[in-house]
Structure 1
Amino acid sequence: MGSAVWLFSLVVSIHIYIIAAATNPDDASALRSLMDEWKNLPSNWGSADPCDDKWVGIKCNDSRVTSLKLPSMKLEGQLTGDVFSLSELQELDLSYNEGITGSLPPGIGNLKKLINLILVGCGFFGPIPDTIGALPQLRVLSLNSNGFTGPIPRSIGNISTLYWLDLADNLLDGEIPVSDGPTTPGLDWLVHTKHFHFGKNQLSGPIPSKLFSSEMTLIHLLFESNRLSGALPSTLGLVQTLQVVRFDNNSLKEDLPLNLNNLTSLNDLYLSNNRLTGPLPNLTGMSSLNTLYLSNNSFNSTDIPSWFPTLSSLTTLVMEDTQLTGQIPASFFNLRRLETVVLKYNSLDGTLDIGPGVSDQLEIIDLQGNSITDFNNTGRPYTFEIILVDNPVCQETGTANPQPYCTLPPPDSSPLYSTPPQNCQPYSCGSGQISSPTCRCAYPYTGTLEFRALFFSDLGSPTPFVSLEQNLTQFFKFPEFPVDSVSLRNPRMDPYQYLLLDLELFPYGQDRFNETGVSEIASAFSSQDYKPPDMYFGPYVFRGDPYEYFSDGPAHSSKSSVGIAIGAAAGASVLFVLLVLAGIYAYRQRKRADRATLESNPFAHWDPKKSSGSIPQLKGARCFGFEELKKYTKNFSEANDIGSGGYGKVYRGTLPTGELVAIKRAQQGSMQGGLEFKTEIELLSRVHHKNVVSLLGFCFERGEQMLIYEYVPNGSLSDSLSGKSGIRLDWARRLKITLGAARGVAYLHELANPPIIHRDIKSTNILLDERLNAKVADFGLSKPMGDSEKGHVSTQVKGTMGYLDPEYYMTQQLTEKSDVYSFGVLMLEIVTARRPIERGKYIVREVRTCMDKTKSLYNLQQILDPTISSGTSSKGVERFIDLAMRCVEESGADRPTMGELVKEVEDIMQMAGMNPNSESATSSETYEDAAKGADLHPYSDESFAYSGGFPMSAAKKELH
């Protein structure tokens, strides 16, 4: 009896030990469900146990998953409901994965223990759900740099714990929400929040005075580049903790509040490019003010304010076109930190006297376009730039040798800061490697630091960048991070007055990072754990680049030693019990693995040697063997590597006949994109048209997925429109390409059997052959229309933002008119050479807003590509634009069919004096001449990448 009790206790103890070591079953199930949804997951996902085997990006407390952080992993897919069953999750960070798309589901509100929700630089779109306000412990909410639309959820006001709120660089619209009574929340309830980042959206309406109060502890208030109107409320002066305020590039008007000088902690104040009126406020006492931008407003004509010389911390003063008059006091130039003074296009007069004791930090005084009559420097040399062009002092007649300050200085061609090598000689590295500051060849993790406010303006001074470099090196030092050294280069200002800096972080002890290393580094930026030196730099956002060079992931852990120890201790009887249990477990696991393989492998029952049953009827496409393709590509050599995407790589191959082919090879053994792989084989093997790329065959053996296409030598239409390919596209060639692409899509809709809806018409999927004939490519998202689906197909929304039909998005009902909408966007891209979404502006909306049919070229000269708008032969442009705008009508019923579109493009070509059925060149220069020197290939970036959702480019995303 005693031995039986002992044996039972031992078995129970073993069982408890195994359970304690394993991940909670619900959490494990949720993570494995994500594996079915997401592509490009880290290499050790899928090993035995998420917590025990330390899956990349997963942290656990006991058996519960508490952290899911996978930034910069090139993930693709959508955020599914499975994540929201991780009830103990405290951190969710999927930043810098543009392939994570779709809407943010309302289920996010179920993660009640979430502290950090960070989705920076993904591909999300649609409204931010109100359930976001149901996260009672949230401290960091970063949803910036996505494509979110709709209003700011007022429910965010319920999150009293919120410290960081960043919704910048989206497409949010509507008014700023404030509370309405004790039960309706608003942003004014966030009295403990330090950061309001809402720049680069489409917010409109007045700024509510209720938004601000003396209880608030804000330090960064960023609403730049929106559509806000009305006055800047005086309640802003109550928030005395503010350090950075940006309301530039809005439509604010009326007088500035007189109590702005209450903001004695303010470092940066940006109010340029509004419609502000009235007198300039008195800023006396703002001793911390570092940067002041007030340009392009309509202030009352006023003399230079007496408070200018009292701003003891001022480095940058920019007040262009602000109706300033009078003479600048010489004492102003004595401010010891002054670097930049820009007072262009005002009415300043008298003598410019810089006086003695001028700041040794001063770099430029730009006073062009004023009424200054004299310049007095008493013969003293000065080292800074003075610009007095278009002033009376520079307009005197008879001056044979103009003074230096009377000519515009040439553009500064001297290189700006770049991290120097550390007492070593840099190597000349190959294979994409870069020499680090310590002169080691490696594959760095790269990205761009974007500073939304600065406390200096002299980009030629190395001091701030050296400080930043040292700060980065100290923070990311080994062993806290696997970083050997950091490098900065190419500082530059963008149109939003943000400082951009290219950053490279080099791996420690090897030539590349593993997945865990990149995840940890990227998360330090996305979560704002890294903080730059506040002496020079204000708030920032990091934009991580995809990392292409991961080393092998961590090895899977083994529990065999545990089993041996248990067997030795328990004896033969316990070993027998465990073996039985292990056998049952192994059998179930094998069955589960077989089912998973069957589900994930669309060709599990497909024998390519047969031609009946479930096998696709392949017409013209044949099954290649792996060894054949290995031979044709010289063992998939680097020399034949011509592109890559999320699925894997593309190689150039040469068949025994000498024919060139393009071989698209998925990541070996991954089976990711399997359904798209099958779709493309089944569809392309049935379609044959000169304007559709030809599928020659496929390979499906040894765990490989490969598609073999005709080789299309002149890249994508996107490459040519952007200038990357070196191919010059005049108006005639653009019409020819449009017609070819339209004929290809019309064939799919009207002549293919069954009809096919492409679902991803875009410029990267239009390829150009040696004579610049257009070929429609990439059928991974395409959908055949069966007899039972005439009219529409109800399906999950897929496509590319910017080209996506809003009617399809709203109804989830796919029709041929969805392709027509995408083609209309493509036509606008062809005449403008702009991406559909560029700098937050949607091309359809831009054309619709600016279009005036009473004027030449419909008043679109500033939007059209100069090659067209200034060309001598651009007949038919206006009719082409009319056709494009009909294609992007809100209702599909109002759009033409592709067959009708083809006929209209043919008519436009005839109007332009072209023969739409001619294969010859369309101008004095042949197609071959136009393409000469082009060395880019279509099978790169997103041209042939499989997509399970909305692949987003680095450009800004917007939905019509």
Structure 2
Amino acid sequence: MGERILIPLLLSFNCLLFALAQDATNDFAVLKSLRDSWQSQTLNWEGSDPCNGWDGIKCNKNSRVISISLTDIGLTGQLSGDIGSLSELTNLDLSYNRGLTGPLPSEIGKLKKLSRLILVSCGFTGRIPDEIGSLQQLEFLSLNSNNFVGPIPPSTGNLSNLTWLDLDDNHLNGSIPVSSGTTPGLDMLHNALHLYFNSLQLPVFLHLGKNRLSGEIPPKLFSSKMTLIHVIFDSNKLVGSIPGTIGLVKSLTAVRFENNSLDGNVPQTFNNLIHVTDLLLSNNKLQGPLPNLTGMSSLQYLDLSNNSFDESSFPLWLSNLKNLTTLQMESVNLNGNIPISLFSLAYLQNVVLRNNNHISGTLDIGSNYSNHLKLLDLKSNSILDFKQRNDQLEGITIILVANPICTETGAMQEGYCNMHNIISDTKPQNKCTFGTCSPDQILSPKCKCGYPYTGTLTCRVPSFLEGRNISSLEEDLTHQLQSNNLPVDAVSLVILDPLSMLEFIIQIFPQGQDHFKQEDISRISLFMGNLSATSAFNFITGNQGGPKDSRNSSSTAIIIGAAVGGCVLLVLLVLAGVYAFHQKRRAERAISRSNPFGNWDPNKSNCGTPQLKAARQFSFKEIKKYTNNFSPDNDIGSGGYGKVYRGTLPSGQVVAIKRAQKESKQGAPEFKAEIELLSRVHHKNLVSLVGFCFEREEQMLVYEFVSNGTLKDALTGKSGILLSWSRRLKVALGAARGLAYLHEHADPPIIHRDIKSNNILLDENYTAKVADFGLSKSILDDEKDHVTTQVKGTMGYLDPDYYTSQQLTEKSDVYSFGVLMLELITAKKPIERGKFIVKEVRSTIDKTKELYHLHEILDPAICSGSSLEGFEKFVDLAMECVEDSGVNRPSMSDVVKEIEDMLRSVGLHLTSESVTSTSSSYRYQEVITVSSHQDHPCSNESFASSAEHLYSKNEPS
């Protein structure tokens, strides 16, 4: 009897063992398939046991794969659908591998035990698959900073265990999905209410910012059942009013709706959100009375700027917000006096009430003002007097420019009347007194040369930075990294956006060596990703310059031993050796002259420069393949340099390839110098260099593809792009920011020398990118004042100071930019039919008349869809830029600040603009509102009528 029972049990046990072995074998096969679909120089997946020594693999006791964590190891290729066969997988993290492209496979929905899916800052494209909603155990879903398109899958609402949903910084469109009948939606995420952790409800983070989401915010999205902590919907295309139901989610701590098109009143139910520290509603179309937010007692960072609220006196309730650190209410129709009680708030640091407010009377900040107060910006108000003296307020930046106190009372000599730039938080300059680093290394805050690991860091919750300067933040991050046993010596932060101070370049320096090993980079990326998950930051990786891991030094010892052992032979052969050496050096010099890239290895040298991404060297054969043998169908333009072709890399990235014609080719050393310069600059308003080709007497540069072509084509109508006044301001701002970066943040600084409309490109969002650095010059330490050089540039844009003296300065670029500004408002060439645009505008200007009496020479399209708010200031700035003497021109950073002010002003009066794709062409649905020539800024009758005629058609001419 016992035997009859025992035998089936043994058989069952053996079957179970066999099944487990089969499953483990299957996992091995799946990993091999994944390895075959990827490329990586550092991935170590060798041997027959994935659970023993394979990078990033963890297994359970049954040898089943439960975790794949491969952060920032240079993976390229696509994620195979075979991933769905890893049935025991609970964690998948492939973050910071930009080369991972293509769609997220639908088979991801088969991973029923998956709890963490983290694909931050990869290159995934296509739609997020609906099957994502099948992952019932998923707690953490981060797909931010990819290229996903299409709508948010409604099935995401089925993820009842989800506590973190981050889809920021993609290209998602459509409306925010909510449940309807049998269809799920994001409003169903309240099921996380039933989860507990250390006796506390698990919070839910909802990050959907920096996408293209449209439509209204559904009231059903919010309910009292939710435990939402963050609602971050900034920088989308949302319309309609903010639903009052948001006040039901009392767990919220951060609400960001800025940079949308929301209108209507601010709901009073915001007062129920007593835990919210950050409320950002700026740059919308909100109307009605200014909201009374007295109940939001935890508010630290409040930004209501650039909305259309009713005119009102300064709100007294602000003085009741005891935790307030930053108040931004720019252009919200405020009037009257600022109460002294506001400045006595204990933690107050920044007060920005500039532009299109009407704050008047005497400014008095009292004697009990906050010890933390750093900035009071009241530019362009109606302040008549200032009770305190400037020297009594040490350490506080007061800006009263364009107030009557400065313009009418003769107080222009006061510091607060002359200060045009906000003094941002800066850290002490590096005080290292010894030596300098090699050109491809960077000096750390601890005076050590090395190759830092570099990326960008964006603060999602502004209040997190309040009360912290840059130095303390660097020290805190360094301590956290070191506490996690990471070989980090120091962290350096550089502010990317001085206006908001929420975006940084982060450089992490190695300890005990000059570069990080690959495993260290992966661990740092993983830590920074987890830090992002604490909600304060979003980390996007860059790269590490310098050499890779050092090789074993034993070979060096062998060589030394051999040299010692053979010293007698060496003496006998010395004459032959010397002769061979000189012959070799002669050959090397000849090769270097003909091909300076002979020893080029961007993976090791990073082009000899500190940078975020190395320039790749392509073969001629590769370039031919990417352009379909330079097919005429891929010919997208030509210029003085040669022809430009569209190409597609194996990763799917579209690039623009500039192929030099014979007469425009540079010498080989000069071509290499240009590539090294381009590899050193990285900014969103500069066209990025992807790589180059130097082979078969060819000189080709491979750039990122910028879809909307040149500014010149847009102004002449060749590209069919409609440039309203607001868009022109944005183009001017983008180009100015790119130039300011070259002049002030590149190391060494760079003068472009050829700023013109043909060298300004527009991407799909009409962001301007400065291109063509063929004539650029670096300013070395011994050339701080000017560079004496042969005059080069384009006639019409050329600085007369530079032309006559042959002394090049940054102000030469400022002059060219001023000409570009005049081109933006006239759509005329700088020199056309013998007329020079600068002289024509200068002789036509009459500041006593509307639009400075420039109607006859303005581009009729300039009035399409928006008023010309700030036009006169724009012209004044352009004329300052084209002053004959360089010393009378502003710096590019000054230009940036002035255009930013104009753009904020325009933001109040933008009409509805949209560009929707129809097949392969664009239809414009921008409305011209010229109801009365008497009150419209483009009031010249013939000018207004020509604008209406030009854009009365649906299709661009």
TM-score range, shorter chain: 0.5 to 0.7
Corresponding position of 2:267 = 257
Residues 186 and 765 from structure 1, CA distance in 2 versus in 1: closer, same or farther, beyond 3 angstroms?
Answer: same
Corresponding position of 2:327 = 317
CA distance in 2, matches of 1:238, 1:318: 26
Residues 388 and 113 from structure 1, CA distance in 2 versus in 1: closer, same or farther, beyond 3 angstroms?
Answer: same
CA distance in 2, matches of 1:233, 1:466: 40
Contact kept in structure 2, 1:157 and 1:190, CA below 8 Å: no
How do residues 145-544 of structure 1 correspond to structure 2 at under 5 angstroms? Answer: 145-181=145-181, 184-192=184-192, 194-344=204-354, 345-377=356-388, 381-383=392-394, 384-396=396-408, 399=410, 402-410=413-421, 412=423, 416-417=426-427, 428-430=436-438, 432-455=440-463, 463-477=468-482, 480-493=484-497, 497=500, 499-528=502-531, 531=534, 539-544=536-541
Q: Deviations over 1:433-453 (max 9, x none)?
A: 444455544433222221122
How do residues 554-703 of structure 1 correspond to structure 2 at under 5 angstroms? Answer: 644=601, 680=622
Contact kept in structure 2, 1:644 and 1:650, CA below 8 Å: yes
| Partner SS state of residue 54, structure 2 | coil
1:735 paired with 2:639, answer yes
Amino acid at match of 1:155: S
Amino acid at match of 2:415: P
Residues 262 and 515 from structure 1, CA distance in 2 versus in 1: closer, same or farther, beyond 3 angstroms?
Answer: same
Contact kept in structure 2, 1:426 and 1:435, CA below 8 Å: no
CA distance in 1, matches of 2:457, 2:624: 44
Q: Deviations over 1:731-766 (max 9, x none)?
A: xx963446x346xx8xx99xxxxxx99997633564
How big is the shift at 1:881? 11
Corresponding position of 2:575 = none
How big is the shift at 1:924? 11
Contact kept in structure 2, 1:450 and 1:499, CA below 8 Å: yes
> Which 10-residue stretch deviates more, 17-26 or 132-141?
17-26
How big is the shift at 1:431? 6.7
CA distance in 1, matches of 2:293, 2:793: 66
Residues 769 and 79 from structure 1, CA distance in 2 versus in 1: closer, same or farther, beyond 3 angstroms?
Answer: farther
Amino acid at match of 1:551: D
Residues 228 and 759 from structure 1, CA distance in 2 versus in 1: closer, same or farther, beyond 3 angstroms?
Answer: closer
| Partner SS state of residue 26, structure 2 | helix
Residues 381 and 507 from structure 1, CA distance in 2 versus in 1: closer, same or farther, beyond 3 angstroms?
Answer: closer
Residues 311 and 50 from structure 1, CA distance in 2 versus in 1: closer, same or farther, beyond 3 angstroms?
Answer: same
CA distance in 1, matches of 2:533, 2:269: 34
Q: Deviations over 1:801-836 (max 9, x none)?
A: x99xxxxxxxxxxxxxxxxxx9996684444799xx
Residues 629 and 169 from structure 1, CA distance in 2 versus in 1: closer, same or farther, beyond 3 angstroms?
Answer: farther
CA distance in 1, matches of 2:314, 2:375: 18
Contact kept in structure 2, 1:339 and 1:456, CA below 8 Å: no
Corresponding position of 2:779 = none
Q: Which sections of structure 1, spanning at least 5 residues, go unmatched?
A: 1-15, 532-537, 556-626, 652-663, 667-675, 694-716, 718-732, 750-755, 778-801, 804-821, 835-842, 868-872, 886-919, 934-957
Corresponding position of 1:38 = 38
Corresponding position of 1:763 = 656
Contact kept in structure 2, 1:264 and 1:288, CA below 8 Å: yes
Residues 464 and 41 from structure 1, CA distance in 2 versus in 1: closer, same or farther, beyond 3 angstroms?
Answer: same
Amino acid at match of 1:522: S
Amino acid at match of 1:488: S
Q: Deviations over 1:920-960 (max 9, x none)?
A: 9997999xx99x99xxxxxxxxxxxxxxxxxxxxxxxx999
| Partner SS state of residue 476, structure 1 | helix
How big is the shift at 1:347? 1.5
How big is the shift at 1:629? 14
CA distance in 2, matches of 1:552, 1:379: 57
Q: Deviations over 1:674-699 (max 9, x none)?
A: xx989649979997999999xxxxxx
RMSD (Å), alpha carbons: 5.5
User: So what's the TM-score if we normalise by structure 2?
Assistant: 0.60
CA distance in 2, matches of 1:849, 1:503: 37
Corresponding position of 2:948 = none
- The answer to which structure, 1 or 2, has the higher relative contact order (CA under 8 A, 6+ apart) is 1
Contact kept in structure 2, 1:188 and 1:210, CA below 8 Å: no
Amino acid at match of 2:507: E
Corresponding position of 2:24 = 24
CA distance in 2, matches of 1:387, 1:135: 54
CA distance in 1, matches of 2:116, 2:150: 23
1:88 paired with 2:85, answer no
Contact kept in structure 2, 1:833 and 1:865, CA below 8 Å: no
Amino acid at match of 2:223: S
| Partner SS state of residue 372, structure 1 | strand
Contact kept in structure 1, 2:290 and 2:310, CA below 8 Å: yes
Residues 858 and 648 from structure 1, CA distance in 2 versus in 1: closer, same or farther, beyond 3 angstroms?
Answer: closer
How big is the shift at 1:466? 4.3
CA distance in 2, matches of 1:856, 1:230: 22
CA distance in 2, matches of 1:372, 1:44: 67
Corresponding position of 1:660 = none
Contact kept in structure 1, 2:259 and 2:284, CA below 8 Å: yes
Residues 849 and 265 from structure 1, CA distance in 2 versus in 1: closer, same or farther, beyond 3 angstroms?
Answer: farther
CA distance in 2, matches of 1:110, 1:208: 31
Amino acid at match of 1:364: L
Contact kept in structure 2, 1:119 and 1:143, CA below 8 Å: yes
Amino acid at match of 2:273: L
Corresponding position of 1:712 = none
Contact kept in structure 2, 1:526 and 1:542, CA below 8 Å: yes
1:120 paired with 2:120, answer yes
CA distance in 1, matches of 2:297, 2:718: 42
CA distance in 1, matches of 2:276, 2:622: 58
Amino acid at match of 2:362: T
CA distance in 2, matches of 1:202, 1:467: 36
CA distance in 1, matches of 2:113, 2:182: 25
How big is the shift at 1:123? 0.9
Amino acid at match of 1:469: E
CA distance in 1, matches of 2:361, 2:604: 67
CA distance in 2, matches of 1:685, 1:151: 32
Instruction: Count residues with an aligned counterpart.
Output: 669
How big is the shift at 1:174? 0.7
Contact kept in structure 1, 2:712 and 2:758, CA below 8 Å: no
CA distance in 2, matches of 1:179, 1:846: 46
How big is the shift at 1:552? 6.3
| Partner SS state of residue 394, structure 1 | helix
CA distance in 2, matches of 1:737, 1:678: 18
Residues 225 and 161 from structure 1, CA distance in 2 versus in 1: closer, same or farther, beyond 3 angstroms?
Answer: same
Corresponding position of 1:704 = none
1:545 paired with 2:556, answer no
Identical pairs, percent: 38
| Partner SS state of residue 95, structure 2 | coil
How big is the shift at 1:38? 1.0
